[in-house]
Chain A
Amino acid sequence: MVSMSKIATGNGHGENSPYFDGWKAYETNPFHPIDRPDGVIQMGLAENQLCFEFIKKWLMEHPEASLCTAEGVNRFKETALFQDYHGMPEFRQAVAKFMGKVRGDRVKFDPDRIVMSGGATGAHEMVAFCLADPGEALLVPTPYYPGFDRDLRWRTGVELVPVICESSHNFQITRTAMEAAYEKAQEANLKVKGLLITNPSNPLGTTMDRETLKSIVKFINEKNIHLIGDEIYAATVFKDPEFVSISEVIQEVECNHDLIHIVYSLSKDMGFPGFRVGIVYSYNDAVVNCARKMSSYGLVSSQTQHLIATMLNDDDFLHNFIMESKEQLFKRHKYFTWSLSQVGIGSLKSNGGLFIWMDLRKLLKEKTFDAEMDLWRVIINEVKLNVSPGSSFHCHEPGWFRVCFANMEDNTMEVALSRIRSFILKNNESIIPRKLCRRSSLKLSLSRSLSRRMDDFMSPAGIMSPHSPLPQSPLVRART
Chain B
Amino acid sequence: MGLLSRKVTCNSHGQDSSYFLGWQEYEKNPYDEVKNPKGIIQMGLAENQLCFDLLESWLAKNPDAVSFKREEQSIFKELALFQDYHGLPAFKKALVDFMAEIRGNKVSFDTDHLVLTAGATSANETLMFCLAEKGDAILLPTPYYPGFDRDLKWRTGAEIVPIQCSSSNGFQITESALEAAYQEAQRKNLRVKGVLVTNPSNPLGTTMSRNELDLLVNFVTDKEIHLISDEIYSGTVFSSPAFVSIMEVLKDRKLENTQVWERVHVVYSLSKDLGLPGFRVGAIYSNDPIVVASATKMSSFGLVSSQTQYLLSAMLSDKKFTKEYISKNHKRLQKRQNKLVSGLEKAGISCLESNAGLFCWVDMRHLLSSNTFEAEMELWKRIVYDVKLNISPGSSCHCTEPGWFRVCFANMSEDTLKLAMQRLKSFVSSITIDNQTHQDLKNMRKKNRTKWVFRLSFQSFHDREQGER
Q: Are A121 and B300 in contact (CB under 8 A)?
A: yes
In the complex, B224 has a CB within 8 A of chain A: yes
Partner of A155, one of B90, B122, B129: B129
Given contacts A49-B81, A303-B308, A8 and B131 within 8 Å (CB-CB): yes
Mark interface residues in B303-346 (1 if CB within 8 Å of A CB, else 0): 11111100100000100000000000000000000000000000
Binds B, one of A294-302, A360-368, A422-430: A294-302
Query: Which A residues, 230 to 273, have Cβ-Cβ distances below 8 Å to chain B?
Result: 258-259, 267, 271-273
Mark interface residues in A212-236 (1 if CB within 8 Å of B CB, else 0): 0000000000001010000000000
Q: Are A479 and B83 in contact (CB under 8 A)?
A: no
Query: Which A residues, 1 to 28, have Cβ-Cβ distances below 8 Å to chain B?
Result: 1-2, 4-9, 13, 15
Q: Are B275 and A80 in contact (CB under 8 A)?
A: yes
The winner among B93, B225, B297, B305 for most chain A CB atoms within 10 A is B305
In the complex, B55 has a CB within 8 A of chain A: yes
**A-B pairs with lowest CB-CB distance, top 8:** A302-B278, A274-B306, A298-B302, A301-B305, A118-B302, A8-B294, A274-B82, A83-B277
In the complex, B194 has a CB within 8 A of chain A: yes
Q: Are B81 and A130 in contact (CB under 8 A)?
A: no
A118 vs B305: C-alpha distance when bound (angstroms): 9
Mark interface residues in B189-208 (1 if CB within 8 Å of A CB, else 0): 00111100000000000000
A298 vs B306: C-alpha distance when bound (angstroms): 14
Separation in Å of the B277 CB from the closest CB of chain A?
Answer: 4
Contact-size category for B: 35 or more
Q: Are A2 and B193 in contact (CB under 8 A)?
A: yes
A300 vs B308: C-alpha distance when bound (angstroms): 10
Chain B residue, CB-CB nearest to A258: B3
Partner of A133, one of B6, B56, B300: B6
Query: Which A residues, 365 to 387, have Cβ-Cβ distances below 8 Å to chain B?
Result: none
Partner of B279, one of A15, A130, A301: A301
A258 vs B3: C-alpha distance when bound (angstroms): 10
Q: Are A66 and B68 in contact (CB under 8 A)?
A: yes
In the complex, B63 has a CB within 8 A of chain A: yes
Complex interface: chain B residues within 8 A of A298 (CB): 118, 122, 301-302
A15 vs B75: C-alpha distance when bound (angstroms): 30
Q: Are B93 and A479 in contact (CB under 8 A)?
A: yes
A352 vs B81: C-alpha distance when bound (angstroms): 20
Given contacts A68-B67, A473-B81, A297 and B8 within 8 Å (CB-CB): no
Mark interface residues in B1-18 (1 if CB within 8 Å of A CB, else 0): 001111111000101000
Separation in Å of the B189 CB from the closest CB of chain A?
Answer: 16
Complex interface: chain B residues within 8 A of A275 (CB): 80, 305-307
Using a CB–CB cutoff of 8 Å, the interface residues on chain B facing chain A are 3-9, 13, 15, 47, 49, 52, 55-56, 59-60, 63, 66-68, 74-84, 88-90, 93, 118-119, 121-122, 125, 129-133, 136, 150-151, 155, 191-194, 224-226, 259, 263, 271, 275-280, 290-291, 294, 297-298, 300-308, 311, 317
Q: Are B301 and A297 in contact (CB under 8 A)?
A: yes
A401 vs B21: C-alpha distance when bound (angstroms): 56
Q: Are B297 and A476 in contact (CB under 8 A)?
A: no
In the complex, A457 has a CB within 8 A of chain B: no
Query: Which A residues, 430 to 477, have Cβ-Cβ distances below 8 Å to chain B?
Result: 467, 470, 473-476
Complex interface: chain B residues within 8 A of A1 (CB): 224, 259
Complex interface: chain B residues within 8 A of A307 (CB): 307
How many residues in A have their beta carbons less than 8 Å from beta carbons of B?
Answer: 82
Majority SS of interface residues in chain A? helix
Given contacts A4-B290, A81-B277, A303-B278, A297 and B88 within 8 Å (CB-CB): no
Complex interface: chain A residues within 8 A of B81 (CB): 47, 49, 271, 273-274, 473
Partner of B7, one of A13, A129, A151, A259: A129
A479 vs B118: C-alpha distance when bound (angstroms): 23
Query: Which A residues, 103 to 158, have Cβ-Cβ distances below 8 Å to chain B?
Result: 118-119, 121-122, 125, 129-133, 136, 150-151, 155
Given contacts A4-B294, A473-B78, A67 and B66 within 8 Å (CB-CB): yes
In the complex, A336 has a CB within 8 A of chain B: no
A155 vs B122: C-alpha distance when bound (angstroms): 14
Complex interface: chain B residues within 8 A of A276 (CB): 83, 118, 302-306
A475 vs B75: C-alpha distance when bound (angstroms): 9
Q: Are A8 and B290 in contact (CB under 8 A)?
A: yes
Complex interface: chain B residues within 8 A of A297 (CB): 118, 121-122, 125, 301-302
The winner among B15, B121, B151 for most chain A CB atoms within 10 A is B121
Given contacts A2-B194, A122-B301, A301-B278, A7 and B130 within 8 Å (CB-CB): yes
Complex interface: chain B residues within 8 A of A169 (CB): none
Using a CB–CB cutoff of 8 Å, the interface residues on chain A facing chain B are 1-2, 4-9, 13, 15, 47, 49, 52, 55-56, 59, 63, 66-68, 70, 72-74, 76-77, 79-83, 118-119, 121-122, 125, 129-133, 136, 150-151, 155, 193, 224, 226, 258-259, 267, 271-276, 284, 286-287, 290, 293-294, 296-304, 307, 467, 470, 473-476, 478-480
Given contacts A7-B133, A273-B81, A478-B90, A81 and B47 within 8 Å (CB-CB): yes
Q: Are B4 and A131 in contact (CB under 8 A)?
A: yes
Starting from the known contacts A296-B122, A303-B66, 9 additional A-B residue pairs (CB-CB under 8 Å) come to A2-B194, A2-B263, A5-B129, A81-B278, A290-B7, A296-B119, A302-B279, A307-B307, A475-B306
A272 vs B81: C-alpha distance when bound (angstroms): 6
Partner of A55, one of B76, B90, B151: B76
Complex interface: chain B residues within 8 A of A286 (CB): 4, 8-9
Separation in Å of the A17 CB from the closest CB of chain B?
Answer: 13
Partner of A122, one of B77, B80, B131, B302: B302
The winner among B3, B76, B122 for most chain A CB atoms within 10 A is B3
Complex interface: chain B residues within 8 A of A299 (CB): 118-119, 280
Chain A residue, CB-CB nearest to B62: A68
A296 vs B303: C-alpha distance when bound (angstroms): 12
Complex interface: chain B residues within 8 A of A68 (CB): 59, 63, 66-67
Separation in Å of the A278 CB from the closest CB of chain B?
Answer: 9
Q: Are A76 and B84 in contact (CB under 8 A)?
A: no
Chain B residue, CB-CB nearest to A122: B301
Complex interface: chain B residues within 8 A of A151 (CB): 301
Complex interface: chain B residues within 8 A of A300 (CB): 280, 305
Separation in Å of the B192 CB from the closest CB of chain A?
Answer: 8
Q: Are B74 and A129 in contact (CB under 8 A)?
A: no
Q: Are A470 and B78 in contact (CB under 8 A)?
A: yes
Separation in Å of the B36 CB from the closest CB of chain A?
Answer: 18
A68 vs B224: C-alpha distance when bound (angstroms): 51
